Structure 1
């Protein structure tokens, strides 16, 4: 069960194996990172409710989209009660529907390894077709653009380790991923997570 009212460090592992859908493309999440708002110097919300990060203080289940490295659209799922910012970065996943559309969005020819389609936050964002206009939209909102399906009988063994691609609070063990998944984007050595 996914509790989007919980903090990101509690919510993140429960999102593994869940399927996020945007339009015709659906991605089963295999790697996520937790960002803990004003308690986390690596979080965009660390300095308070302003600018691009204001959506992180909003309704749980909102989508927070930002530009990474000037070109990628990275997506997060906002969690925690309204007013307490935290979010889960969708780092990687397996495209389970809309593979052809995801390939087209990524600019890839037909064929090739599907595990690469949503490996890394920028590639996942591109495969889903994330846009800055998606910032603040709700999962299951009235427009039906975004959906989230909870994982089935358990996604399998979960590993935990430090976040990657950041310089502040980089040692925090807030990155979670499914063991043995080829779509995982970064270092694959971690410790078992038992919840």
Structure 2
């Protein structure tokens, strides 16, 4: 859960409000009922409410602000290192006056007492963020997922100079050159797949 939680928070804090919930949703669907599930469902609805403010959907923002509070209330001011009090204050204000509150910037989500961003993510959370951003921004999601899998495999094998690790981090962190990085990842994935296919054909 931790990698998905941090990835979604960093994506949200970067301003990709709609995409943030994707980091939590697939994980949330497989969770048993309980506080952890309520946290993710509350965050999903919080970020969806924020997204509605960017499209001037006041009714949608108000409804989701109310339902998000029902999931986050009772978890305490901080749960799983996520600061919930600022979120709950914003949600209560948004529910009361979505037009006025929605015109102001939403609060960042703080994790471990800081508003984490994409630069602060380790490889597990960066891998989650990479696939989410690929889908959100229109890149080949399957290729990025394969690149993340190769990066994880290389780290597990102790390959300190893996180009997949470097490029996956760059894909997530470098807005300006993301398209170039995606192309390089595609090339590396194809070469790796060809090598694997050549080895398989030997047997």
TM-score by length of 1: 0.25
Q: TM-score, normalised by structure 2?
A: 0.24
Report which structure shows greater RCO (CA 8 Å, sep ≥6).
1
Which structure is higher in helix share?
2
